[in-house]
A and B are shown apart, each in its own frame.
Chain A
């Protein structure tokens, strides 16, 4: 079986966001493989370690620097990478066309995709890719097992969680709690340097953005920051309740 894990390179969660010339400035900031995507790589590795015979291919569509995120996936244990090198930023629907073509060409049977990556806050890539392939999807997956060719797992729905079964091929989107991603060990980092990352061009896939981005802003709401000392608990509580009632008018 061949498993694809889709990778985005995003701003490290600890970094602050800055805007320059109508776009979020990433240069000079720490960039990492998205955590949600890490769960996908980790889960693919675990399925293999649990006995599934699988080749794990990490795929990323993005600028030259995205190779670093792919290297992280390879250092975790993915077998090889595919990097569609482009500075064009594709929305999820457009990107899914590329992912689906790669999945077909690779004869993949299972695709992992982050539930919601930290750069575009989109939840659409997994579902859109599944639709293009005519596959079912399990989103926000928090537990997974492979029994023969059936995925058995748990995922989060509108209210509460559901257990599910789905026969491969399928797309699975991840959720925190699915697993604890491993840190690449030094020997694995060394090995990963020799692993193949195939470079491709976006033109080969004929995908173009369907949504136009007109600019970004950081709207920081000024906060009042009226912070009281709580050494006198009763006094502070009384004052806080008074402020919430009379100044903020948010409680009755």
Chain B
């Protein structure tokens, strides 16, 4: 059996769940694909999961209303052990990458992290993932009764939901007590398309000058293109933008069809989060800025002149 842990947010199954289903379908294991849905009041999420899996297990309880690494890893490891899962697929989200190592240790399993490809040959899982700040592709393999895998966002084409719903079963979970007590949170909601799911990302760096400049230029261009907004660490540290928009080694990794870098120098730690974008566009006044070395298109010029002109042009 292949177990996929289906993430969801705001009452909807996340794109990553569809990607996990598609990754699971490519593996040659018996027993089909089982989706595990954890949360509180997740009936509609489970119903969506039933269209992409052969069986859905639902852990629906108040204790699961909020994510916790220890609670999640205990639940996933329990289900994987009871169902004798051979492969456990978890989204390569921040939380997925946080609790998956605990699942691997509990199951005494190897962990393949943030994979962008998976091949199943004679019971051996082969995968590729990035190393050295996303500059190197490493080929790895794991062979064990059960292997835990986190899957990179956007690496697999999302599965297309079927028309017949798989059976759902409620599960009894033995959950540990939470020890990391969350005392407050700043959920940053922007109303825009999610950064890691967007086809176009417009990102801004220190070169936009001020927080107002960011809104005017970066948000302005993103609005015009229906794009998500990203930012560099420099502007997040300066308090201009929320951390949830940060792209890079210590932020999010994106690979959109087009990444438009506005006033960004192109430090390796930033490139680590976007250098696999299909098309990279840079606007910077310094023709020697490293960002131009990986750009497909670009303009050497002042963002305060170029970007408004682009917005104008797009409005035409």
Contacts and interface: CB of A to CB of B under 8 A. Distances in A.
A88 interface: no
Which bucket holds chain B's interface residue count? 35 or more
A228 B184 contact: no
Given A176-B233, A212-B140, A156 B94 contact: yes
Contacts of B313: 234, 237-238, 241
Interface in B222-270: 225, 233, 237, 242-244, 249-250, 257-258, 267-269
Contacts, number: 265
Contacts of A223: 280, 293-296
Nearest to B182: A162
Interface in A141-167: 142, 156-167
Interface residues of A, number: 80
A63 interface: no
Name the prevailing secondary structure of the B interface residues: mixed
A136 B181 CA distance: 10
Interface in B180-213: 180-189, 199-200
B142 interface: yes
B296 to A, nearest CB: 4
A105 interface: no
Interface stretch (B21-29, B42-50, B56-64, B304-312): B304-312
Interface stretch (B30-38, B102-110, B156-164): B102-110
A68 interface: no
Contacts of A221: 276, 294
B185 to A, nearest CB: 4
Interface in B89-125: 93-95, 97-102, 104-106, 109-114
Interface in A7-28: 11, 13-14, 17, 19, 24
Interface of B: 9, 67, 69-70, 73, 93-95, 97-102, 104-106, 109-114, 126, 129-142, 144, 179-189, 199-200, 225, 233, 237, 242-244, 249-250, 257-258, 267-269, 276, 278-283, 285, 287, 292-302, 305-306, 309-310, 312-314
